[in-house]
Amino acid sequence: MARGADLTFATHLAANPRRTRREAMDVPAKKSKLIKGAKNDWEVVIGMEVHAQVTTQAKLFSGASTAFGGGPNDHVSLVDAAMPGMLPVINEECVRQAVRTGLGLKAKINLKSVFDRKNYFYPDLPQGYQISQYKSPIVGEGEVLLDMPDGEVVRVGIERLHLEQDAGKLLHEQHPAASLVDLNRSGVALMEIVTKPDLRSAEEAKAFLAKLRTILRYLGTCDGDMEKGHLRADVNVSVRRPGADFGTRCEIKNLNSIRFIGQAIEHEAWRQIGVIEEGGTIEQETRLFDPDKGETRSMRSKEEAHDYRYFPDPDLLPVELSPSLVTELRETLPELPDQKKARFMRDLGLTDYDASVLVAERDTAAYFETIVADGGNKRDPKLAANWVINELAGRLNREGKDINAAPVSAMQLGCILDLMAQGTISGKIAKDVFDIVWNEGGDPRAIVESRGLRQMTDASAIETLVDDIVAKNPDKIADVKKNPKAVGWFVGQVMKASGGKANPQAVNDLLKKKIGV
């Protein structure tokens, strides 16, 4: 966990105020999220160390490829293999990506940073040490704001971001009596993003990682692909009585799923509460999470900084950044999720929920904006948001597709919305047209004309259908006069009789006139 984890509770609050927009408006904040144990109420305290693989073509200190999926040891240079006489050379793009990420996290950029050797042995770490950063990281303190479902805004402090090289990978299943080593990942650049102990529930921890992944994807500094191991998290968990000093923390290593993070925190919090309430003490240690059993288990005692014997790497000079470079990178940052959400709500009139859903993925936001921009000022942003969030996203989820592989383009969906706005098709027909375009492709306008899907607008034809349905159901008329909302039944029958082509509003108005409500 961050070095600030040893602060007392009172000092931590003074240094890192946990404020919400409600507090800013003098509205009382919600109570802390407490866990009720058998004997006492408990508060869980969570900090995270997120390892994000930097999006670059080459590794941190060599020119070897970072491509995923090559054969074992295909992407290994002499530097990665730690051959004698091989010296590391810093990849400038990795530094630029780290600075971009720091700026996106509203963090302090340190103009001078130092690479250190972190000494420990792993079979897949050829040098016998890891090149990392310790006392002088490239990025200092920042913050991430979380919009929780209950309306609370949680500020999560970022302690630091530093660059380091990844280790390789051990393969245990390929040989009956030995583990094999694949060094493809060895030397790949990682950004370790360390939070302050500001998280108070599994839900907040999950929300933090989801928000951080969104920010990284917007910046283009990490693709956030957890299945490939490009984004992993270590989670530090402790429990305490409300208002007490921080308890002893346990670190849960290498979680590669937001769902697993939530499960691991829940189990570990209850485990620690059980130990303490039964009179035991928590030992500081590193633990692993077993997703099959839904529980954590001990891995090793937790190392402290002095165990790693950090010292500046003698083969690498300090990294010195010019203020002009930082300014250049700041000016080229894209619009980030919080900014985009605020603009969607302010300029397009979207709700907090709709804007949040749309900006959660950069490509989804871009798809939505293409629809709105293509229609000039004529397309209703709220209607477009509803279709992207419900019809499009729902279909993509059911079929396991990414929005970039959506069979219906933003232009095609925009055309369907135009046909609805013009009264050419009804909402029901629009869904049918959407389904046709999804399965067969084509121009929505041409599909409507060639298949006779144009909405019925002939008043006399609609009136004939209305008269027929009313005449056949005299017993229902009394119900409508008692409860005008019951007219919906008649509307449904007329729409059914018209094959869904009648204008629903015209049907509704005509029925009310005929029945007298």
Give strand ranges (E) for 37-104.
41-53
**What average pLDDT does the segment 363-378 reach?**
88
Q: Choose between 78 and 456: higher pLDDT.
A: 78
Asked if residue 81 lies in contact with residue 126, where contact means CB atoms within 8 angstroms, the answer is yes
- The CA-based angle 488-490-496, given to 5 degrees, is 105
Residue 25 structure tokens: 């408006």
Q: Find residue 42's DSSP bridge partners.
A: 35
- The CA-based angle 142-145-150, given to 5 degrees, is 160
Q: Find residue 239's DSSP bridge partners.
A: 44
392 secondary structure, DSSP code = I
**What average pLDDT does the segment 146-175 reach?**
93
The span from the CA of 422 to the CA of 320, in Å, is 60
pTM comes to 0.84
Q: Where are the alpha helices (DSSP H) in 241-380?
A: 258-277, 323-331, 337-348, 352-359, 362-374
pLDDT at 16 over 50: no
State residue 426's pLDDT score. 86
pLDDT in tens, 215-229: 999 999 999 999 999
pLDDT at 509 over 80: no
The span from the CA of 34 to the CA of 242, in Å, is 8
Domains of the chain: 3-329 (no CATH), 335-450 (no CATH), 459-515 (1.10.10.410)
Task: Write out the H or E segment, with its range, that includes residue 23.
Answer: helix 21-24
pLDDT at 12 over 60: no
- The CA-based angle 157-161-165, given to 5 degrees, is 150
Residue 189 structure tokens: 């650049």
**What average pLDDT does the segment 239-260 reach?**
94
